[in-house]
A and B are shown apart, each in its own frame.
Chain A
Amino acid sequence: MTSIHPDQVTAERLAGLSRGATPPPVLDPRTGDGTLIDTPGVRAPLVLNNRGFGEITDIVCGYVENKPPRWWLPAFLAAFGLAQLGGILILYLVITGIGTWGLTNQVDWAWDITNFVFWIGIGHAGTLISAILCLLKQKWRTAVNRAAEAMTIFAVICAATFPGIHIGRQWMAWFLPPIPNANAIWPNFKSPLLWDVFAVSTYGTVSALFWFMGMVPDFATLRDRADRRLRRSAEGPILLPFVPIRTDKIRAFVYGFLALGWRMSSRHWHRYEAAYLILAGISTPLVLSVHSIVSFDFATSILPGWHTTIFPPYFVAGAIFGGFAMVLLLLIPFRELYANMKDLITLRHIENMAKILLTTGMMVGFAYSMEFFIAWYGGNKFELYAFQNRAFGPYWWAYWTMISCNVISPQLFWSKKLRTNVVVVWIVALFVTIGMWFERFVIIVTSLHRAFLPGEYHMFHPTLVDIGIFAGSFGVFLTLYLLFMRFLPAFPIAEIKAVLPQASPHSHGDHGHDHSGHDHKH
């Protein structure tokens, strides 16, 4: 792997060399990188530096085709090692039993379901970006769309692990789907836990399909680039020393297979866009249903603190809140570490997402206070006790961590200066991620640890296995994410090109051909 890129011009461009001659444009300092324009009627550029179609292809394909940055392999190995730790502890759990978690008393759903709800919620931001923002015609979504969808799928994988291993006898997990078995036992369709099985598996499947469909044209781009290099020269980088298979040959085959023969046809694009719109349309109610159904696991029970009608909207808002925090947590460092990524993910993207954090954070804060209000106004003393106990009982520290991370820390984003400062945004996103984990912990553990019978009053203490499996889930997530950044198109190439100003067939300014005599209908 001597050559970084077979095309010298492209290599220079990727390294930012070929643009050295142009002086950087003089920008109004209030517009940050030039995208923070508040003037009505002036559209902020979605992609910086006037990138052309070919440059977009080069930048995004470069992340896949060039040698990965130096930090990539150590980061990958660390994440992979963490995932292995989780895997080993899961094996230990399966062999020994769920008593190896701190589930030795009545507080039964402690970390496992906390982690499940935490991860599944994170996924929701990806679907919000790919589906809801698509329906709302928010063009800025194109830059973060693919990365957020990838996050969705990896988060669902992490989430699905926890209910799978918390059932006690994990080898009986196949009883979850409705399939005939030797004992003629079928699942109970009246149970919200089964609704959850269907909601999460449908969500995972539909998200993966949507993600894959979005990547098909970009796989075609990667295929064609590899194919062109193969046709142009007989020599090229090989897979490994002494393994004389050209890397491009493998790329042409693998990406070619995944591209399904996509050939950029307008007739195909027409149906593709129809399918995309339909998927966006059905994913929107789907994503709202998934966390609503997750909240039914709690809301349909009779436990004080769980049995509230505010749960579905409150959970959905919290999911989007936590998910956007994770998107920012991932993309802000990647934006710094990868060449030219700042042209695609601009300060305005960061600012928009910070605004969403502020909005959804306030929704969550409203839900917290409304829960308290109804507990008092409803006149149910068990309910009121549950909430007083949450805020001032033995788990007061968890409750106030949640409040300060989720409600107070996003308030910084009222200031434009702070919400356009990537370091501040990253730190707040980190706080929100912590806060959202604590939110689920507070809901689950504080309600369970003071259930109806005083004999059930216990504190929950996580064991090393609890902690290790949770850490392992981060390892799985980061491993998959780093592999995604390395081998798959991290940005929707075709979609970004489509939102460039020169993509419109009606802008006559940017080509020098004379069309006089044509019948202009537009």
Chain B
Amino acid sequence: MAKVYVTENNDRIHGIMAEFAGPADLYHACEKVRDAGYSKWDSFTPFPIHGMEEAMGIKRTILPVIVAVVGFTGVGLGYLLQWWVSNSGYQFVTQGKPYGGLVNGGWQVFVPITFEIGILFSAFASIIGMLALNGLPRWNHPLFKKERFLASSDDKFFISIEAGDAKFDPDATRALLEKAGATSIELVEE
């Protein structure tokens, strides 16, 4: 269990936030934080920086697997919907064609809609899955209290190490960020 750190006003500490001068500085600082063995930390950049996953040691996301599972579920449901409607829900002979299905033939007519529903499910899965894995929507975050942090969506680059990290130590963490080339360091209250 990590220690709980508080400020002199008894506010709980969320962590330490440090600003870096640019993408390259941030990139190398991230490598140092990664190598120091922290786990509850993050960097904040106005745009996705190429290769950041490696510099931060981020594991590959499971999102593609989620999308594949949901997408193929959509494919299955899409086919079932059409098969059930045509064979059971509302049997209706058009142009002397079979009702449609794998057994009695005529499954081909179901392909376009099966495909479309598979795509629809995959699209929802990729966006909702991405947001859910990111813990969004979450409109409130301790970092937003820092005015300086708001520039991360403009042209500034930050690293934040959370107090909940097992390796977090106010002095050592601060020293690490300073050594990594931070241009400013701030304490972030919860």
Contact = CB atoms under 8 A, between A and B. Distances in A.
Interface stretch (A112-120, A145-153, A253-261, A367-375): A253-261
Nearest to A497: B47
Given A53-B46, A231-B147, A263-B44, A188 B92 contact: yes
Contacts of B67: 278
B171 to A, nearest CB: 22
B139 A257 contact: yes
Nearest to A521: B31
A265 B55 CA distance: 14
Given A261-B140, A264-B46, A282-B123, A190 B109 contact: yes
B164 interface: no
B173 interface: no
Given A266-B43, A275-B63, A225 B154 contact: yes
Given A269-B52, A505-B50, A57 B154 contact: yes
Given A264-B153, A266-B58, A282-B122, A505 B51 contact: yes
Given A190-B86, A261-B140, A285-B119, A269 B153 contact: no
Given A209-B127, A263-B44, A198 B113 contact: yes
A52 B155 contact: yes
A273 B48 contact: yes
Contacts of A508: 24
Given A228-B147, A494-B48, A504-B23, A221 B122 contact: no
B112 A198 contact: yes
Contacts of A267: 42, 56, 58, 134
Nearest to A278: B126
A227 B25 CA distance: 27
Contacts of A53: 46-47, 154-155
Interface in A286-334: 286, 289, 293, 296
A353 interface: no
Contacts of B150: 224-225, 227-228
Given A189-B113, A194-B113, A210-B123, A266 B49 contact: yes
A502 B23 contact: yes
A57 B137 CA distance: 23
A260 B139 contact: yes
A392 interface: no
Nearest to B48: A269
Nearest to B59: A270
Interface string B22-34: 1111111011100
A213 interface: yes
Contacts of B140: 261
Interface residues of B, number: 78
Contact of A261 (B28, B50, B56, B141): B141
A266 B52 contact: yes
A356 B135 CA distance: 41
Interface string B81-112: 11001100110101101001000001001101
Contacts of B36: none
A33 B10 CA distance: 59
A503 B49 contact: yes
Interface stretch (A99-107, A166-174, A199-207, A444-452): A199-207
A242 to B, nearest CB: 30
A178 interface: yes
Q: Provide the main secondary structure of the chain A interface.
A: helix
Contacts of A274: 61, 63-64, 130
Contacts of B129: 275
Interface string B1-34: 0000000000000000000011111111011100
B116 interface: yes
Given A189-B109, A274-B61, A505-B24, A289 B48 contact: no
Nearest to A203: B116
Contacts of B27: 505-506
B145 to A, nearest CB: 10
B155 A54 contact: yes
A296 B111 CA distance: 13
Interface stretch (A380-388, A422-430, A479-487, A509-517): A509-517
Interface in A170-226: 178, 184-192, 194-195, 198-199, 202, 205-206, 209-210, 212-213, 217, 220-221, 223-225
Contact of A202 (B25, B28, B45, B120): B120
A210 to B, nearest CB: 7
Given A186-B85, A289-B112, A202 B100 contact: no
A80 to B, nearest CB: 31
Contacts of B86: 189-190
Contacts of B120: 202, 205-206
A224 B151 contact: yes
Contacts of A205: 120, 123
Given A505-B27, A511-B22, A209 B124 contact: yes
A188 B144 contact: no
A96 interface: no
B100 to A, nearest CB: 7
B119 A271 contact: no
A224 B127 contact: no
Tell which of B100, B134, B144 has the most Cβ of chain A within 10 Å.
B134
A511 B25 contact: yes
10 contacts: A184-B90, A189-B86, A228-B151, A270-B53, A271-B134, A272-B134, A497-B47, A505-B23, A505-B27, A507-B24
Interface of B: 21-28, 30-32, 42-53, 55-56, 58, 61, 63-64, 67, 71, 81-82, 85-86, 89-90, 92, 94-95, 97, 100, 106, 109-110, 112-113, 115-117, 119-120, 122-124, 126-127, 129-131, 133-134, 136-141, 143-144, 147, 150-155, 181
Q: Which 3 interchain pairs have the tightest Cβ spacing? A: A505-B27, A53-B155, A275-B130
